[in-house]
């Protein structure tokens, strides 16, 4: 069922879910020489039941191999645990230790899932890598352009801003023009075991579902992030105590105590003093943001240009103006209300449907307090 003399040899990242299964099937149908690969990252120690719940656990490997057999393509398991720990887990722990809110999926996509897979695929004679992400690639203008997925409810371009620009021409996203319902229908039509498999909601290296379990196991017990501190209002008045600022992120409203007529949210985390600053919801509004650790997939915008920036996956992209562009960071002013912007989150820049680039939020500017 696999390949044709005129097709390319493409390595498909197969997590064991329906999306990557259908991506592989579509490439086979298109006449490419397809090779399936599943990454062994982290989820194989400890409780076996927990390892099965994650997208890259033992069940994922089994299902990916079953689909590969159904499609009559070879399937490999790559041990990337060392790279994954270095690029994703260590960064995740360090960011929370600094009082920031990281996105590990961005780190995985920027490094392990594509860069490291391509390197391994080239050893197998592959000249491209594919995944089941809901994004599109426009190759018609010479320089490939990364675009939002046609199904905006499933669009995953937010997670791919960190891809090296020079890799775009080697990537394939077969699901970019499909909806989730269409993907499942295709999987059922092909008789794939993953057709009705539910989506994984957990962070793959946090099988318990509580990231604080991971931090407690990897940070020293005396680390400030795990140490008690004060819960204060914006004026510095002590309202209560907490057991470690690593359990909080900007915008959070649970776990900060009650007894007030107005519900309070986390406004800021101050790791240097171990303080968690809380206040009413309207104080979450910010006027601007500074984004660093930049990666550009299109020419960088000049100061004065209007773009849209998305600061979390399930939030809309907000209109903004580029105030300043420096070598390592860009400063933006929001043209519409922005709330609960947390340092460490990804800020992804869009010009219409195109992903211009992105980075990590370093600090908010001009908080309206």
What is the dihedral angle through the alpha carbons of 251, 253, 254, 258, rounded to the nearest 10 degrees? 150
CA–CA dist 71, 65 (Å, integer): 10
Given 55, 105, 204, 320, which residue is catalytic? 204
Which DSSP symbol is given to 226?
G
Count of CA atoms in the C-beta half-sphere (13 A) of 156: 20
The distance between the two most distant Cα atoms of the chain, rounded to a whole number of Å, is 72
Q: Give the number of other Cβ atoms within 10 Å of residue 180's Cβ.
A: 15
β-strands 75-79, 33-40 pairing? parallel
Under 8 Å between Cβ of 108 and 65: no
By C-alpha distance, which of 290, 295, 301, 297 is closest to 344? 290
Per the annotation, the verdict on 56 as an active-site residue is no
Is the C-alpha dihedral spanning 333, 339, 343, 346 positive or negative?
negative
**In the chain, which ranges are continuous DSSP H helix?**
18-29, 48-53, 58-71, 81-84, 90-97, 104-110, 117-123, 180-190, 211-218
CA–CA dist 1, 72 (Å, integer): 6
Tokens 């230790």 belong to residue: 97
Per the annotation, the verdict on 108 as an active-site residue is yes
CA–CA dist 114, 128 (Å, integer): 10
Given 105, 108, 126, 320, which residue is catalytic? 108
β-strands 9-13, 128-130 pairing? parallel
* Catalytic positions, written as ranges: 108, 204
């Amino acid at each position: 069922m696999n390949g044709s003399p005129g097709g390319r040899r493409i390595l498909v990242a197969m997590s064991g879910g329906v999306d990557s299964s259908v991506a592989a099937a579509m490439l086979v149908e298109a006449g490419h020489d397809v090779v399936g690969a599943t990454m062994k990252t982290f989820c194989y120690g400890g409780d076996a039941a927990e390892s099965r719940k994650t997208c890259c656990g033992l069940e994922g490997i089994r299902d990916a191999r079953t689909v590969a057999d159904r499609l009559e393509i070879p399937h490999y398991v790559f041990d990337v645990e060392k790279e994954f720990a270095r690029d994703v887990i260590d960064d995740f722990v360090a960011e929370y230790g600094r009082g920031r809110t990281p996105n590990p999926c961005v780190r995985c996509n920027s490094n392990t899932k594509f860069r490291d897979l391509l390197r391994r695929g080239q050893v197998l004679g592959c000249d491209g890598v594919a995944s089941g992400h809901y994004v599109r690639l426009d190759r018609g203008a010479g320089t490939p352009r990364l675009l939002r997925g046609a199904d905006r409810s499933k669009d995953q371009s937010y997670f791919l801003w960190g891809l090296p620009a020079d890799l775009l021409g080697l990537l394939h996203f077969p699901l970019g023009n499909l909806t989730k319902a269409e993907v499942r229908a295709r999987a059922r039509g092909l008789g794939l075991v993953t057709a009705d498999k539910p989506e994984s909601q957990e962070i793959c290296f946090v099988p318990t579902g509580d990231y604080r379990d991971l931090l407690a196991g990897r940070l020293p017990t005396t680390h400030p992030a795990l140490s008690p501190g004060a819960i204060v209002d914006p004026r510095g008045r002590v309202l209560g105590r907490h057991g470690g600022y690593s359990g909080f992120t900007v915008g959070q409203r649970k776990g900060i105590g009650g007894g007030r007529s107005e519900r309070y949210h986390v406004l800021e985390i101050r790791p240097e003093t171990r303080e968690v600053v809380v206040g009413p919801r309207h104080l979450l509004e910010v006027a601007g943001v500074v984004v660093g650790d930049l990666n550009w997939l299109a020419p960088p915008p000049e100061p004065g240009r209007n773009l849209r920036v998305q600061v979390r996956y399930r939030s809309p992209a907000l209109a903004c103006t580029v105030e300043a562009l420096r070598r390592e960071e860009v400063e933006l002013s929001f043209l519409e209300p922005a709330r609960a912007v947390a340092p460490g989150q990804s800020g992804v820049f869009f010009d219409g449907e195109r992903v211009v680039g992105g980075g990590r939020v370093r600090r908010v500017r001009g908080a309206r307090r």
